[in-house]
Structure 1
Amino acid sequence: MRLNLPNILTIIRLIAAPGVAVAFLYFNRPGADWFALLLFVAAAATDWIDGRLARAWGQETKLGTMLDPIADKAMVVIALAVIIGFSGLAPWILLPATVILFREVFVSGLREFLGDVAGELKVTNLAKWKTTVQMVAIAVLFAQGVFEHYIAGIVYGMGEETMRAVLDGRIEDTQGLIPLTWGLTVSWYGGVVLLWVAAALTALTGWDYFNKARPYLRDEEEARG
């Protein structure tokens, strides 16, 4: 195994994946949301960087080829588990997340069964878009958590009528409640829409991978027939 910069970035991304969940054990919110958001975005950036460096520098290795999809899946699965938790099992989050998690487990099982043959099933551009949309959706939903808890701090002890008056402009917004509310709305709906798009792409790429794997799943008698 050869360690080079692209491989080191991949390993850092793999190590960072559980850090997204650990953040909520050691930090209070919204500090935990900020830490998880920044860590996730930084780790996702390495996914874009390491592959390009490996190809540009001719440093593609078996170690990197093996670790890269594992790091991506670890990031997505752990981050989705955290988001499902703090969303209170909201169905608009839980359903697409379930599709994504099911596909990742299913395809990982297929790859394990196929062994060396799995390397012949090349990653498609659609699969790369799937990963990108997943990571953007998760980052936006982490941002939603940041907005949510800043708003909670501002409106704590504020009556509902007072809050409505601030949002309606009848009372001066001295604490930035209006832009924070806009940020919360945009990040929530934007994150949910992106997550559903990611789930659709995930299902499509899972079906595509299964179709490509089907010839290798036939029994010998069926293949001869």
Structure 2
Amino acid sequence: MKVALIHATTTALKPIEKAFQKAAPEIELLHFMDTNLLSMMERSGGLTPEIIRRFSALVNLAAESEANCIQLTCSAFNNITSILQPMHAVKLFRSDEAMLDEALAYERIGLISTVKETPVALMSYLREKKPDCNIESLVDPGIIHLLFKGRNDEHDERVRNMIQQMDGIVDVIILSQYSMDHIAHQVQTSVPILTAPQATVNRCISYLRKAQAPCSGPTGIRRV
């Protein structure tokens, strides 16, 4: 089985590869990346025709690779799946839908983000599923770029500060970017912290196994 991964940053590579290696090392991972997409999104403040065109090119390549499903890893681009899915037979997964579905079991949901465009994509999904859900959001815009500069400790400290601010005012905390996955193990909180990579991989695997399962139906019936 093959899973194609669509990336807008290099920071998602390690978390998603680690999660797949833990759960299903036999799955072949194909990586498709355009690291200019995030900068374009930050400049425009949202999806533009050019961003959609470039993202579509990645999805086309992934589909042509005969992957069994395509998985996004950057939450800021989640809403593009509704635009591109009708163009492809292969299943496209948002980067965080499995994690967000878990979060919907809670009344008050807290979002921690390091890309300012991310909360819009996450909130739209949550409110489509549960219109009356209570969402709190904290964003430290652009600090994901600290990781690109090797300033990992500063990045992690600022994320931990946001988690501490959110703790106690919500029932669950979501770390929106894959690049924050490791920080969930660095803090003690009074509420659960959800991260996307492992939940994402588990959903991919479940989908792939169902797709491969033989169709069930009546057997041993012969008409003459």
TM-score by length of 1: 0.29
Point out the structure with max Rg over C-alpha.
1
- Larger % of strand: which? 2
TM-score by length of 2: 0.29
Q: Which has the higher contact order (CA 8 A, sep 6+)?
A: 1
- Larger % of helix: which? 1
